[in-house]
Amino acid sequence: MTLTDLTLTEAQTLLQKGEISSRELTQAHLERIAALDGALHSFLHVDAEGALIQADEADQRRRAGAHRDAPLLGIPLAVKDVLVVDGMPCTCGSKILEGYRPPFTATAVQKLQAAGMVILGKTNTDEFAMGSSTENSAYGVTHNPWDVERVPGGSSGGSAAAVAARFATLALGSDTGGSVRQPASFCGVTGLKPTYGRVSRYGLVAYGSSLDSVGAFGRSAQDVAAVFSAMSGRDELDATSQDVPVPNVDLRLNGERPLRGVRIGVPQEYFIDGIQAEVESAVREAIRQLQGLGAEIVPVSLPHTQYALPVYYLIAPAEASANLARFDGIRYGPRVTGNSMWDVFTKTRGEKFGDEATRRIMLGTYALSAGYYDAFYGQAQKVRTLIRRDFEQVFTQVDAVACPVAPTTAFKIGAHGDAQHFDPLAMYLEDVFSLPANLAGVPGLAFPVGFDAGGLPVGMQLMGPHFGEAGLLRTAHAYQQATDWHLAKPTMEDGR
Ligand code: GLN
């Protein structure tokens, strides 16, 4: 038995029987990271010592008998480096936060710690979660475990790669425009972006505050469901978190056709020219399988889909330009000295922000400036409402919609250019199918449904109505009980 291959459910069974300890499980993951993460660079910070202490505490709690049913007790977790954890550095993939050690812990992380999870460390991300490839990290790119010449997706590329490479049983990410779902798809793992307001954003370094959500990666819908339930819920420290009951997702399935009665919409706007043929065929095949499991397949339309990209790339940079104003060299991170306060601000920000963050700050500031506000930001907000209404309308007809996560499988590192000749628009196009869920605030779930001819994973996305995560997880679970794409494992350099 390879401890790092265990899913959450398998590990939990062995922990409960006393056949393995959390220390052994944690140690196995730490050893695998030490041996193999050199080739991937999925972690920015590994806290081996702290993790073993937490593991011992979990073992003690278990011995004390008080937590027999605790599904997450003693399970290793990786955390994207945009969520603060007391005692660990937080860089957000940026030089402007180099050396910053936050004095508090994000609510989502705190809840998982309380449930007994063991935090292994912090994972790589595009700078301030701005990107779709993890190439925008100031600390170097993360490589895809299926093909190290390719990106893992982004911005939560480190977390997705870590779960795919069996460095962590589960991982947290953030999703503002696809940053959990797209890397999940590129790395062949399951990733959930919950409803906006479902999980507290307290302690998540803000990017686009009206779009940001904390999400989770695992190797199955079942594993993700456990983390989702444990980290969700109203939090007084985040005024936008909602007081909606959090389901303990019921994954028991009945019979040969467990999806009987479930209506799944297929939006025509998500099957467009330019999508990789193998992505389309794998997703269409998966939809047929859902039908075989009893679901009713219904063609639907989300007519404003084509506006999601321009709307997102106004709203997200506008909010980012305001959110990133706090990084001034005075309050957090390193400072470049200057002759005056303004000189310090300008030099610190000019030297420490990377190109993409700078581009977004400039775009966002322009879109919000007097005289342009109505034409850009105001207009984008109106179209956003139309996009949200599309979803509200569709969810009166169906329980979920099924579509691709991204138009392609993982692309080569550097495919959209390097620092000198970067093509931002080509990169932004990676997000066409993932941005609408954030604009509408609805949940989205990505999970593997096949491979392309090059052996790279293909992901499918299910989106559901507000607070409808349980339905998405059940549907994906039914699919994963009937298929085994989610069990496929990349071969790492040591052949393990
Ligand atoms: N790729 C998108 C962007 O660059 C989404 C990122 C995210 O979800 N954090 O903004």
- Which CATH code of 3.30.300.180, 3.30.1280.10, 3.30.365.10, 3.90.1300.10 fits the domain covering 3-303+386-487? 3.90.1300.10
Give the separation between CA 214 and CA 216, rounded to whole angstroms. 7
CA of 435, closest atom in ligand 1: 5
Give residue-wise pLDDT tens across range 389-399. 999 999 999 99
- Stretch 452-470: mean pLDDT: 98
Per-residue model confidence (pLDDT) at position 292 = 98
Per-residue model confidence (pLDDT) at position 254 = 87
In this predicted structure, which of 105-119, 364-378, 399-413 has the lowest mean pLDDT? 364-378
- Stretch 149-174: mean pLDDT: 98
The reply to whether 80 belongs to the active site is yes
Give residue-wise pLDDT tens across range 166-224. 999 999 999 999 999 999 999 999 999 999 999 999 999 999 999 999 999 999 999 99
Give residue-wise pLDDT tens across range 33-70. 999 999 999 999 999 999 999 999 999 999 998 666 78
364 Cβ below 6 A of ligand 1? no
182 Cβ below 6 A of ligand 1? no
Greatest CA separation for the chain: 73
Per-residue model confidence (pLDDT) at position 296 = 98
For 461-492, letters b (16+ CB in 10 Å) and e give bbbbbbbbbbbbbbbbbbbbeebebbeeebeb
Residue 1's pLDDT band (cuts 50, 70, 90): confident
Q: What is the mean pLDDT of the chain?
A: 96
Of 179, 212, 315, the residue with max ligand 1 atoms within 8 A of its CB, to mutate for a pocket test, comes to 179
Residue 247's pLDDT band (cuts 50, 70, 90): confident
The reply to whether 159 belongs to the active site is no
Give the separation between CA 47 and CA 49, rounded to whole angstroms. 6
205 Cβ below 6 A of ligand 1? no
Could you tell me which residue, 492 or 241, shows the higher pLDDT? 241
320 Cβ below 6 A of ligand 1? no
Per-residue model confidence (pLDDT) at position 496 = 61
- Sign of the Cα torsion 206, 208, 210, 216 reads negative
User: Residue 49: how many CB atoms within 10 A of its CB?
Assistant: 9
Would you list the domain boundaries of the chain? Answer: 3-303+386-487
